[in-house]
Amino acid sequence: MDAATTLIPGLDDVLASGNPERKTRAIRQIGKLFAQGAPHFGAAHVALFDDVLTGLISQSDPAARAELAAQMAPLANAPPRLVGRLVHDNLIAISGPLLGRSTVVDDPTLIEIARMKGQPHLLAISRRPVLTPLVTDVIVRRGERDVVRAVAANSGAEFSQAGYSSLIRRAGDDGPLALAVGQRDDLSDAHLKDLLAGSVEIVRRRLLANLPAPRHQAIGLTAPTAPAASLRRDFVPAQKAILALHRVGRLNENAVMDAAARGDYETVVAALSALSGTQIATIDQLLRGERHDPVLVLGRAIGLDWSTVYTVIAMRPGQTRALPARVAADARLHYERLLRATAQRAVGFWRLRQPDVAADDAVYV
């Protein structure tokens, strides 16, 4: 410890006093001293700081440990025992900086933490500049939605065959994940085919649109073409049918449900338009979007039962299969929690923003 007291005057008194406040101040001073001199320190100096700081952190406050972890994270020669203590901390403010970038933290440590800690720790690991398949296997297996999306979008992450298979399975009911996986340069043609086969139509179209032509050829597909300008939906017959129902007092939820159940998209749009007081062009645009939130808002504003709302969601253009159970459960929970007054305000906002289209102009792209 003689060398340490030469470098850090008063250290003996700090250690002997046992005063947590003095130790916290010492940690900040010593951490700053090491960070400033790290490029010039040899192994002996690093070991000296390692001994001193590791002995001090047990009685320091979390803020000081977090500050110390942030100082050590970018250093290639950060004291290894100190880093090992800090990176295992349950507080993500302390362990996070090291999990996210420290090169001193090796794969076995990352795997251990990924297996034991919670989602915030997994998320920090998922954003490291480089990740090996041994680590990503654990992240994909244990990570929840945000974690898996983050690691899939990380160009520095590598995945095993099993890891990619797991990602593709999970992407079946997660559009953003499917897009992140589909845009990876290291995705094999076989895995890309599996991903396309398991994705809903609207996600599949976006994946294909973002793929370079050589990849289309490699997987035996042709690039999607833009729809012809002349391709238009004719809502005139549906409008007339809905008007007839309205005249006899039968424009109600049953009309929406019946049309949705038989896949009559034009009649569903015309019915929702009439019931909500919103133009057909606006309803059509909302229903053709990637998200089902607008359907939830429309249904709640009108006062539709969940079964009707679900049927409308399931029959939208591009929705070629039933919603996955988890997605449907989440949508129903959001629907039940949505206040009708809130939904009606949103619909009122849509009405204000809609274009000034003549009521009898029922042909819309």
Q: What is the DSSP string of 6-62?
A: HHSTTHHHHHHH--HHHHHHHHHHHHHHHHHHGGG--HHHHHHHHHHHHHHGGGS-H
Structural domain including 284 reads 233-364
User: Domain tally for the chain?
Assistant: 2
336-358 pLDDT, tens digit per residue, is: 998 999 889 888 888 876 654 43
Whether residue 316 lies inside any domain: the answer is yes
Out of 78, 105, 132, pick the residue that ends a domain: 105
Whether residue 252 lies inside any domain: the answer is yes
pLDDT at 226: 42
The CA–CA distances, whole Å, from 99 to 34, 79, 127, 128, 350 equal 20, 15, 9, 7, 45
Count helices and strands in the chain by DSSP H and E runs: 24, 2
Whether residue 285 lies inside any domain: the answer is yes
pLDDT at 327: 77
Cα 23 vs. chain centroid, distance in angstroms?
40
Residues across the chain: 365
Confidence of residue 2 (pLDDT cuts 50, 70, 90): very low
Whether residue 36 lies inside any domain: the answer is yes
**Which residues, 6+ apart, have CB-to-CB distance to 281 below 8 Å?**
354, 355, 357, 364
47-102 pLDDT, tens digit per residue, is: 999 998 998 887 788 999 999 999 999 999 999 999 999 999 999 999 999 999 99
Out of 105, 128, 150, pick the residue that ends a domain: 105
| The two structure tokens encoding residue 98 | 């090291």
Whether residue 338 lies inside any domain: the answer is yes
How far apart CA 156 and CA 154 sit, in angstroms, is: 5
What's the average model confidence in pLDDT over 308-329? 76
pLDDT at 230: 36
Residue identified by tokens 């289309």 is 216
Classified as helix, coil or strand, 223 is coil
Out of 45, 72, 105, pick the residue that ends a domain: 105
Whether residue 28 lies inside any domain: the answer is yes
How far apart CA 139 and CA 331 sit, in angstroms, is: 26
Whether residue 276 contacts residue 303, with contact meaning beta carbons closer than 8 Å, is answered with: no
Taking alpha carbons only, the member of 359, 355, 350 closest to residue 243 is 359
Whether residue 284 lies inside any domain: the answer is yes
pLDDT at 321: 55
Q: What is the pTM of this model?
A: 0.59
96-150 pLDDT, tens digit per residue, is: 999 999 999 999 999 999 999 999 999 999 999 999 999 999 999 999 999 999 9
